[in-house]
Structure 1
Amino acid sequence: MDGIELEILWSNLIGVVTERAKALQRIAFSPIVREAGDLAYALFDQRGRMVAQANTGTPGHINSLAFAGAHLVKEFAGRCEPGDVLITNDPWLSAGHFFDITTLTPIFKGDALIAYLGSTIHHTDIGGYGVGAGARDVHEEGLWIPPLKLYERGTPNPVLHAIIGRNVRTPDAVFGDLAAQVSSGQAAAEHLIALCERHGLEDLEALSDEIITRSEESTRNAIRKLRPGTYHGKTVFDAPGGEKITLKVALTVDAETGTIVADFDGSSMQTSSGINVVLNYTHAYATFAIRSCLNHELPNNTGSLAPIEIKAPVGSIINCSYPAPVNARHVVGMYVAMPILKALYQVFPEKVLAEGSGAVWTVQIEGRKADGKPFTSSMFNYSGGMGARAEKPGPSATCYPTGVAAVPVEILEAAMPIVFDRKELRRGSGGAGRMPGGDGQIIAFHMNTSDPWLLNAVPSRVDMGPEGLGGGESGQSGRFLVNGEYVSPARKLGMKPGDQVVLETPGGGGYGTPA
């Protein structure tokens, strides 16, 4: 395909998916989507290959969506009609826990199915236990939606809508978010059909082949430039409840074939708490870590991901088996990048960063307002410090590798009876080094309610701070306090009116020996 023509068509594709993703974010009900950007949006071809993703979102959703879209296309092959919308939140088929619901809209040009548009967003509530590590198996964690049709020929599936409505605490918010996903998919479909008509395309298959083939070959060429060999990395951290988790990776670079294999053999086995990770989510953050150092300027699609293979033992904490609980899977999943960066330090030390705080600290609150109406907060996140880089300090209150921002305190205070007493940087918590690690932050809040309330919180690194790199010093570990007492929660906490919660997130590791 002519390079100029390809660039014009590619810019059009990116424009469509990015515009619709930002529209979805603006109209979403869930604050973590609307304010924090916890979503993914992508275009798939007829064969279920991810062709283009929006310029927004978080890696855990984006690269998991590539798997979810492929599963749904395969499941409903030959059974889609105009007006259908497909749906699932199966953890092992999509993004790893029930809160992340994926929808896929088949796009028809006349009677011909030409492509699909998919989105994954974090919903406010999915029933069950909530965002925490306390469930004993996956069935306690909420509503499981297998691959189904949310809409059939433009009509809502009444049985599925009734089931969803009766199994969640905040049905208006959940259906509002689903409507946002459906409407953005419909609008994007219209734009893509117009694109085909403008350029005289019967479908997108030739364009998809060109994009994916070029992306794959460019990634293989980037790998061929690396020094071949096997490089090892390891990270150890504490999870909610004091569990010590070990993630090991052997990263093998094959310059002849242009492939990288990341093998997590030797990592911790799955646990009884809900911090287990499905392989899709492990793959999402592992490939993101590799590609962010290798060839971040290339498009992220099925082609650029193909040369990277991720392996993990079945039954391990990063390839858990049913019915392992998974609702707090980000607590471990966001650490997957850390051992990979340590392995890549041996390949190109100037492109990696020291260990950061790892997973964002997530908080979910349940209770009753003054008028007696129940509320469930959407998950809101707080980052620690990011690890330092070879030539730059680590940013403070910034989490690598996720792309999820913090929900502003003003939004949270407007949505529920919460009062924030402090929110400031935790000065000096970053590790010393030639380049210092980023600082964590301090957040203090209490609930302005006369009734007891429930707190779901999943802090990590409250015992072990992030390690420095190349002689850099470790960042400070975090602290989680309730009424001044240290707590390491793995389960929901029953709270009283007036109880104060303080979160002191970890600082990032330093890079290089301190001057």
Structure 2
Amino acid sequence: MDGIQLEIMWSNMISIVSEQARALQRTAFSPIVREAGDLATALFDADARMVAQAITGTPGHINSLGSAARNLIKVIPPEDLVPGDVLITNDPWLSAGHFFDITVLTPIFRGETLIGYCGSTIHHTDIGGYGVGAGARDIHEEGLWIPVMKLYEAGRPNQTLHDIIRRNVRTPDAIFGDLAAQVSSGKIGGERLNLMCDRYGLDNIDELSNEVIQRSEQATRDEIRKLPGGTFHGETSFDVPGGEVITLKTAVTIDTDAGDIIIDFEGSSPPSKSGINVVTAYTHAYSSFAIRSVLNPDLPNNAGSLAPIRVKSPDNCIINAQYPSPVNARHVVGMYVPFPILKALAPILPERVMAEGSGAVWTVQVQGKDKEGVPFVSSMFNYSGGTGARASKPGLSATCYPTGVAAVAIEVLEASIPIAFTTKELVRGSGGRGQQNGGDGQRIGFRMRSNQEWLLNAIPSRLRLSAEGLNGGESGARGSFQINGKEADEARKILMAADDQVTMITPGGGGIGVPEAA
């Protein structure tokens, strides 16, 4: 295709997926989606290959969504789809790794011809079952499992499925409000794609998607070929709720002839009894994000640019969860996946990698009834520690690498659930010292504005093992999770008294380089 023509139509596609994301955020019920941006939207061609994604979102959703679209049409093939159909699933092994993340896929028709799909994945506030914590013993305790089905059939709601979802969740109005937002954003994306086809006289997007995907793959392989070939090793260890220590090991093989990178997790920790196990799609999502971060981040993120990055892991491994492993808190391990990869690449790309950061966001779910007896459930993202230092800049404070989820403003949370925050401030100096210091963690305190008991699901990490520095940099400070001033470290749901107070001190990031003498 002509380069100018391609650039114009590519800009149109980015506008389409970005409008999808904005529509989803504007209409979502959940603060996690509306305020924090815990979502992904993408546009796919008729073969369910991801062509374009919105700039809003988190890698765990975006790259998993790329796999989910193909998985959904394997179950319900294109010949069984008609205009007005909408597909849905939250199957962890087919989509984003746990029940809370629901994927909605909308087929796009031009007349009677299927030309592509609009997809979205968002974190829903509640899906029944145990909740967002790590305390379930197998996946069937974790919530409602939605197989690949039609949420809408020829424009009409699948009433049986709607009734099943409504009776299995604690806050059905919020769930259906967020599902409606996903359906609406998919419809908008389909309308905008058809308008683009009208504008440029296209019957379909096959030629356009082939050009974008082929160019993206070629550009990625060219970047890989610039690296020195060979196999490089990295390792990271961290503690998770209950004191369990997890080790992730990687062997990163760079094949400069083929332009491939293979990441092998052989030797990593075995599966956990807690719900922190990670499915392969989520592992690949954060592995590929780590590689993309140090190659050329400006390249489009689509089926082409992801194709040269492959992930291998043994079956008996925490980042290759097998049924019926519990997986609800899979981000606790999944968000550490980039660190051993970056450590492996540090000797050959010292100017592009960062030191270890605080790791996974500290997810907190509160559940109970307010003073009027109305039930509430809320997952309160995003309590981040500090990122690791960068080669020429300090780490960022109260910011999580690798997720892209923002913090929900405390004013928003206080307006949506009966909670009162007592403290929210940076912990100065908690980042590791170095030529470049690691980012600082933060202190957050809260209590519930209720007159009865409530339930707390909290998933802190790095309470024992600090984020390591790089090239002589010092480690960051450890985190601390306290209830009424006493240290707590539980993988299970905790019953709280009405006046209990929680204090969280998130970890600091590691420094880079030997610090100068004081």
Name the structure 1 match of 2:497: 496
User: Offset of 1:197 from its aligned partner?
Assistant: 1.1
In 1, distance between residues paired with 2:341 and 2:236? 9
- Whether the 8 Å contact between 2:107 and 2:114 is mirrored in structure 1 is yes
- Give 2:85's aligned amino acid: D
Aligned position for 2:258 = 257
CA distance, structure 1, for counterparts of residue 95 and residue 30 of structure 2:
19
Letter in 2 for 1:450: N
Note if contact 2:432-2:469 (Cα within 8 Å) is conserved in structure 1. Answer: yes
Amino acid of the structure 2 residue aligned with 1:458: I
Give the conservation status (yes or no) of the 8 Å contact 2:363–2:379.
no
Q: Give the aligned partner of residue 189 of structure 2.
A: 188
Check conservation: 1:119, 1:181, Cα contact below 8 A: yes
- Residue 118 of structure 1: SS of its match in structure 2? strand
Q: Tell me the CA shift for residue 55 of structure 1.
A: 1.1
For residue 341 of structure 2, give the secondary structure of its aligned residue in structure 1. helix
SS in 2 for 1:438: coil
Provide the residue aligned with 1:469 in structure 2.
Answer: 470
Determine the C-alpha separation between the residues in 1 that align with 2:115 and 2:73: 12
Give the SS at the match of 1:420: strand
Deviation at 1:63, TM superposition (A): 0.2
For 2:144, the aligned partner's letter is: L
Preserved contact between residue 331 and residue 359 of structure 1 (Cα < 8 Å): yes
Q: How does 1:363-442 map to 2 (within 5 A)?
A: 363-442=364-443
State the SS of the aligned residue for 2:66. helix
Q: Deviations over 1:325-353 (max 9, x none)?
A: 00000000000000001011022110000
Shift of 1:380: 2.4
* Distance (whole Å) between structure 1 residues aligned to residue 382 and residue 494 of structure 2: 18
Query: What residue identity is the alignment partner of 1:144?
Result: W
Distance 1:22 1:317 in 2: 35
C-alpha distance in 1, partners of 2:47/2:125? 32
Equivalent residue number for residue 311 of structure 2? 310
Structure 2 stretches of 5 or more lacking a match?
none
- Report the Cα distance in structure 1 between the residues aligned to 2:161 and 2:212, rounded to whole angstroms: 37
> In the alignment, what sits opposite 2:345?
344
Give the drift of 1:368: 0.7
Partner Cα separation in structure 2 for residue 478 and residue 76 of structure 1: 46
Tell me by how many angstroms 1:269 deviates: 0.7
The letter of the residue matching 1:361 is: W
1:181 shift after superposition: 0.4
Aligned partner of 1:209 in structure 2 is: 210
Q: Which amino acid aligns with 1:213?
A: Q
Kept after mapping to 1: 8 A contact 2:386/2:508: yes
Q: Name the stretch that deviates more: 372-381 or 329-338.
A: 372-381
The residue aligned with 1:174 is: 175
Checking the alignment, whether the CA contact within 8 Å between 2:432 and 2:511 is kept in structure 1 is yes
Displacement after TM superposition at 1:266 (Å): 0.3
The one-character-per-residue Cα deviations of 1:164-214 (angstroms, maximum 9, x if unpaired) are 000000000000000000011111111100100110111001100000000
SS for the counterpart of 2:211 is helix
Amino acid in structure 2 at the alignment position of 1:16? I
SS in 2 for 1:40: strand
CA distance in 2, matches of 1:424, 1:489: 24
Checking the alignment, whether the CA contact within 8 Å between 2:227 and 2:256 is kept in structure 1 is: yes
Match of 1:156 in 2: 157
Aligned to 2:70: 70
- By how many angstroms is 1:387 displaced? 0.3
Consecutive unaligned residues in structure 1, runs of 5 or more: none
**Paired residues of 1:30 and 1:378 also in contact (CA < 8 A):** no
| TM-score, L = length of structure 1 | 0.99
Matching residue's letter, 2:136? A
Instruction: Write the deviation string for residues 95-116 of structure 1: whole angstroms up to 9, x where unpaired.
Output: 0000000000000000000000
Letter of the structure 2 residue corresponding to residue 259 of structure 1 = D
Partner SS for 1:119: strand
Q: Which residue in the other structure is 2:96 paired with?
A: 95
Aligned to 1:40: 40
Residue of structure 2 equivalent to 1:145: 146
Cα RMSD over matched residues? 0.6
For each residue in 1:411-452, what CA deviation from the matched residue of structure 2 results, as whole angstroms up to 9, or x when unmatched?
111111111000000111000000000000000111121100
Q: Could you state the TM-score of these two structures normalised by the residue count of structure 2?
A: 0.99
Deviation (angstroms), 1:462: 0.2
| TM superposition shift of 1:385 | 0.4
Query: Is the contact made by 1:50 and 1:302 (CA closer than 8 Å) also made in structure 2?
Result: yes
Q: Quick one: distance in 1 between partners of 2:457 and 2:318?
A: 21
Secondary structure of 2:382's counterpart equals: strand
| Count of residues in Structure 1 that have an aligned counterpart in Structure 2 | 515
Counterpart AA for 1:54: A
- CA distance in 2 between partners of 1:44 and 1:194 (Å): 16
Following superposition, which runs of at least 4 residues in structure 1 exceed 6 angstroms of deviation? none
Alpha-carbon distance in structure 2 between the residues aligned to 1:206 and 1:411: 45
> 1:377 deviation in Å?
1.1
What is the CA deviation profile of residues 370-424 of structure 1, one whole-angstrom value per residue up to 9, with x for unaligned ones? 1111111134220000100010000100000000111110011111111100000
Equivalent pair of 1:124/1:379 in contact (CA under 8 Å): no
Measure how far apart 1:3 and its partner are: 0.2
Instruction: State the distance in 1 between where 2:381 and 2:39 align.
Output: 14
Q: SS of the residue aligned with 1:377?
A: strand
Specify the SS of the correspondent of 2:182. Answer: helix
SS at match of 1:20: helix
Cα distance in 1, alignment partners of residues 353 and 199 from structure 2: 43
Mapped partners of 1:52, 1:76: distance in 2 = 23
Letter in 1 for 2:69: G
Q: Which residue of 2 aligns with 1:106?
A: 107
Task: Give the equivalent residue in structure 1 for 2:54.
Answer: 54
Q: Does the CA contact (< 8 Å) of 2:108 and 2:117 recur in 1?
A: yes
1:13 aligns with 2:44: no
Distance in 2 (CA, whole Å) between partners of 1:511 and 1:46 is 46
The match for 1:278 is 279
**Alignment check: 8 A CA contact 2:275 2:326 kept:** yes
**Residues 396 and 439 in structure 2, CA contact (< 8 A), matched pair in contact too:** yes
Q: Which amino acid aligns with 2:204?
A: D
1:23 deviates by 1.4
Aligned to 1:450: 451
Shift of 1:62: 0.1
Question: What's the % identity of the aligned pairs?
Answer: 67
- C-alpha contact 1:354 1:508 (8 A) present in aligned 2: yes
CA distance in 1, matches of 2:421, 2:66: 38
d(CA) in 1 for partners of 2:228, 2:375: 58
Residues of 1 paired with 2:392 and 2:15: CA distance? Answer: 33
CA distance in 1, matches of 2:512, 2:456: 36
Q: 1 CA distance for matches of 2:154 and 2:208?
A: 28
